[in-house]
């Protein structure tokens, strides 16, 4: 490779592993065919006026179309905005506007969202396998591939590793979502270091070129945790599940010989449920999981079902940071205890510090808690996009202040114990308690409300709303209020608390703030 540029990855793979398959039901391609389609697609997009610096929003599930766009847009020097379709509609549209999207490339299954964005970005390409466009006069990806030439566009050789490759956003746990722009070198370094780490250490999710990979993490989450790049880099078979549910994913694992997958614990739970329903007693699968804590009961069930796993820690603000290095053994054994506590080892080229409030580094005693800070070559060079205030708070002297509370284990591993903020991690997705509290407090008979994280075997955590009423109040009235807010796009439907509890008094601190620590103790959540 001349430089660390995304489309050079696919070119190399098409040359070195041309006949290896990429499966995207109901279609399948070789890497040579995928490269040819990506080149033709790049030329088709170029004909629409998309070029260097164009910001292009992509709204799709994990398909061959989305993968091809990674490389086609790279050849043009365009910036890919990976749109998080799980955001509330209002926040999603905010990211479209904030990123400055000029084009929207949308799967027809997200047609309603695509049309809602029309006042912000009116130029569209439809991602569909149908013969005709969902909107007459608007092109489809297949039309662009069919009409594109097979010679790489002239811009491809001029794209450099310092050019911006993609922009994506946090889930907005404290205010609006925050954007990060990553250069080609940042994304490739981080992605390849995930692979490097999985090869350096003997863990449950060892990755090799002989594996068949299926990313269940959406491409909008750091490009499916880097699999859009490191799997083609390996020249390994890649299976893209599209909109398959857990039963469909299980079918793909069995029919395509999938040996490695990434997923949040909730997806693992659903996959094991599907296996049990299908009478599958053993699922020999290597799993890279993270995004939220892995409950011990789920770990036990996965182990008994043949799954071996490694845990990963990191976030959109910092990309990948650390992965568990010890083998994931029997969840009840002493050897596996630290792995289950998410004890992780920093990736090569990553520095991690855990510092107490006075700035002193914490001892490696597994007990002293401090804030986790990260430094790596792939932190976003400008911090948060168009947000200097929050950038100054989070990116300090080359370090990212994670806001996570952690301890250092005796072997040097990092164990994240809590968040400084009160967000809830449910199914690998953040639920901002402050937004829920604001909506619930709109009811005229709510005097005070606190939303807490309650452990949940399936989802990791679910929100528990504790409400102090002023007068007669029915819980169902609050549920109706939340449902209306979800219908209006102000919050995602899965944010709605499973439990709403009415209490006579919510305790407050000496400063007059809601005393969430006391509430957690009261409800046994500490």
pLDDT at 328 over 60: no
- Domain residue limits, the chain: 6-404, 424-522
| Contact indicator for 215, 295 with CB cutoff of 8 Å | no
Q: SS3 of 76, please? A: helix
Position 511 pLDDT exceeds 70: no
Give the pLDDT confidence score for residue 334 in this predicted structure. Answer: 45
At 332, which helix (H) or strand (E)?
A: none
Q: Who's near 422: CB < 8 A, 6+ residues apart?
A: 433, 434, 451, 452, 453, 516
Out of 53-67, 239-253, 453-467, 498-512, least confident range = 498-512
Could you give the C-alpha distances from 38 to 17, 44, 48, 68, 102, in angstroms and in order?
Answer: 16, 10, 15, 5, 20
138: how many CB neighbours lie within 10 A of its CB?
Answer: 15
Which position has the higher pLDDT, 176 or 70? 70
Strand partners, 455: 461
Q: For position 484, what pLDDT does the model report? A: 93
> Using CA atoms, how far apart are residues 306 and 242, in angstroms rounded to an integer?
25
pLDDT average, residue stretch 292-310: 81
Hey, what CATH class is 6-404 in? alpha beta
Q: Which helix (DSSP H) or strand (DSSP E) does residue 10 occupy? A: helix 6-16
pLDDT, one tens digit per residue, over 231-280 is 999 999 999 999 999 999 999 999 999 999 999 888 998 999 999 999 99
HEC secondary structure over 136-162: CCCCEHHHHHHHCCCCCCHHHHHCCCC
- pLDDT, average across residues 314-339: 69
pLDDT at 338 over 90: no
* Low-confidence winner among 140-154, 189-203, 389-403, 496-510 (lowest mean pLDDT): 496-510
Confidence bin at 329 (pLDDT 50/70/90) = low
Residue 90 pLDDT class (50, 70, 90 cuts) = very high
For 143-202, what is each residue's pLDDT tens digit?
999 999 999 999 999 999 999 999 999 986 557 899 999 999 999 999 999 999 998 888
Share of the chain above pLDDT 90, in %: 71
pLDDT at 332 over 70: no
The pLDDT value recorded for residue 168 is 96
Q: What b/e string do you get for 347-370 counting C-beta neighbours within 10 Å, with b at 16 or more? A: beebebbbbeeeeeebeeebeebb
Instruction: Tell me which of 265 and 222 has the higher pLDDT.
Output: 222
Q: What pLDDT, on the 0 to 100 scale, is given for residue 406?
A: 81
Strands across the sheet containing 446-456: 446-456, 460-469, 499-502
Among 288-297, 321-330, 439-448, 506-515, where is mean pLDDT lowest?
A: 506-515
Shortest CA distance to 324 belongs to which of 412, 241, 224?
A: 412
**55 and 81 in contact (C-beta within 8 Å)?**
yes
Check if the beta carbon of residue 398 is closer than 8 Å to that of residue 380.
no
At 174 the pLDDT is 56
Per residue in 412-427, pLDDT tens? 889 876 566 666 888 8
Work out whether strand 285-290 and strand 260-263 pair parallel, antiparallel, or are unpaired: parallel
When mean pLDDT is compared across 28-37, 65-74, 355-364, 473-482, the lowest value belongs to 355-364
Phi-psi region of 172 (alpha: psi -120 to 50; beta: other; left: phi over 0): left
Cα within 13 Å of Cα(505), Cβ side = 4
Contact predicate 104/96, CB 8 Å: yes
Please, what sign has the CA dihedral across residues 219, 83, 317, 436?
A: negative
The H helix count followed by the E strand count for the chain is 17, 25
Whether residue 388 has pLDDT greater than 80: yes
Instruction: Quote the mean pLDDT of the chain.
Output: 90
Alpha-carbon distance 218 to 85, whole Å? 10
pLDDT exceeds cutoff 90 at 354: yes
At 33 the pLDDT is 98
What value, to the nearest 5°, has the Cα angle with vertex 132 and ends 32 and 106?
70
Residue 210, Cβ density class (10 Å: 0-12 exposed, 13-18 middle, ≥19 buried): exposed
Higher-confidence position of 158 and 488: 158
For the four alpha carbons of 8, 13, 18 and 23, in that order, the dihedral sign comes to negative
- CATH number of the domain at 424-522, please? 3.30.300.30
Residue of 179, 83, 175 lying closest to 423 (CA atoms) = 175
**pLDDT band per the 50, 70, 90 thresholds, residue 345:** very high
Q: What is the mean pLDDT of residues 73-78?
A: 98
Specify the higher pLDDT residue, 242 or 341. 242
Angstrom CA distances, 40 to 5, 20, 54, 76, 432, stand at 18, 20, 18, 12, 42
pLDDT of residue 497: 96
The reported pTM is 0.85
pLDDT at 296: 64
**Residue 19, pLDDT score:** 98
pLDDT at 295: 62
Report the distance separating Cα 384 and Cα 393, nearest Å.
10
Rounded CA-CA distance 16/235 in Å is: 8
Choose between 410 and 357: higher pLDDT.
Answer: 410
- Distance separating alpha carbons of residues 64 and 71, to the nearest angstrom: 11
Mean pLDDT of the 431-447 span: 83
* 139 in Cβ contact with 126 (< 8 Å): yes
């Amino acid at each position: 490779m001349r430089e660390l540029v995304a489309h050079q990855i696919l070119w190399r793979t098409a040359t070195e592993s041309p006949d290896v398959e990429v499966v995207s039901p109901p279609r399948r391609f070789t890497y040579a065919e995928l490269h040819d389609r990506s080149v033709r697609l790049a030329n088709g997009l170029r004909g629409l006026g998309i070029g260097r610096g164009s910001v292009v929003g992509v709204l799709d599930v994990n398909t061959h179309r989305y993968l091809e766009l990674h490389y086609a847009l790279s050849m043009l020097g365009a910036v890919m905005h990976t749109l998080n379709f799980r955001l509330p509609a209002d926040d999603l549209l905010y990211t479209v506007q904030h990123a400055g999207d000029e084009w929207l490339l949308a799967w027809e299954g997200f047609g309603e969202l695509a049309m809602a964005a029309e006042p912000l970005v009116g130029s569209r390409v439809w991602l569909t396998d149908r013969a005709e466009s969902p909107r007459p006069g608007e092109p489809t990806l297949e039309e662009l591939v069919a009409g594109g030439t097979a010679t790489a566009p002239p811009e491809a050789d001029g794209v450099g590793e310092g050019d911006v490759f993609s922009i994506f956003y946090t889930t907005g746990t404290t205010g609006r979502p925050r954007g990060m722009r990553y250069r080609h070198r940042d994304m490739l370094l981080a992605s390849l270091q995930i692979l490097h780490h999985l090869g350096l250490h003997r863990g449950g999710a060892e990755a090799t070129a002989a594996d068949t990979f299926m990313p269940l993490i959406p491409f909008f989450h750091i490009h499916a945790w880097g699999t859009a790049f490191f799997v083609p880099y390996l020249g390994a078979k890649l299976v893209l599940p599209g909109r398959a549910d857990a039963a469909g994913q299980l079918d793909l694992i069995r029919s395509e010989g999938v040996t490695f997958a990434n997923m949040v614990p909730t997806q693992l739970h659903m996959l094991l449920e599907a296996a049990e329903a299908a009478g599958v007693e053993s699922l020999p699968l290597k799993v890279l999981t993270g995004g939220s804590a892995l409950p011990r009961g789920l770990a036990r069930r996965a182990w008994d079902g043949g799954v071996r796993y490694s845990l990963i820690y990191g976030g959109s603000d910092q990309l990948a940071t650390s992965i568990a290095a010890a083998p994931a053994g029997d969840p009840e054994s002493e050897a596996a205890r630290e792995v289950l506590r998410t004890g992780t080892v920093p990736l090569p080229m990553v520095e991690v510090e855990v510092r107490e409030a006075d700035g002193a580094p914490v001892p490696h005693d597994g007990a002293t808690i401090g804030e986790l800070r990260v430094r790596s070559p792939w932190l976003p060079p400008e911090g948060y996009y168009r947000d200097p205030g929050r950038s100054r708070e989070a990116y300090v002297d080359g370090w990212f202040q994670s806001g996570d509370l952690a301890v250092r284990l005796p072997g040097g591993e990092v164990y994240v114990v809590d968040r400084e903020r009160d967000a809830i991690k449910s199914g690998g997705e953040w639920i901002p308690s402050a937004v829920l509290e604001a909506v619930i407090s709109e009811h005229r008979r709510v005097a005070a409300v606190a939303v807490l994280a309650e452990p949940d075997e399936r989802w990791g955590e679910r929100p528990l709303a504790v409400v102090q009423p002023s007068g007669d109040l029915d819980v169902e009235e609050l549920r109706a209020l939340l449902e209306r807010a979800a219908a209006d796009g102000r919050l995602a439907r899965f944010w709605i608390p499973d439990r709403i509890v009415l209490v006579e008094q919510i305790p407050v601190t000496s400063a007059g703030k809601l005393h969430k620590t006391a509430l957690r103790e009261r409800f046994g959540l500490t």
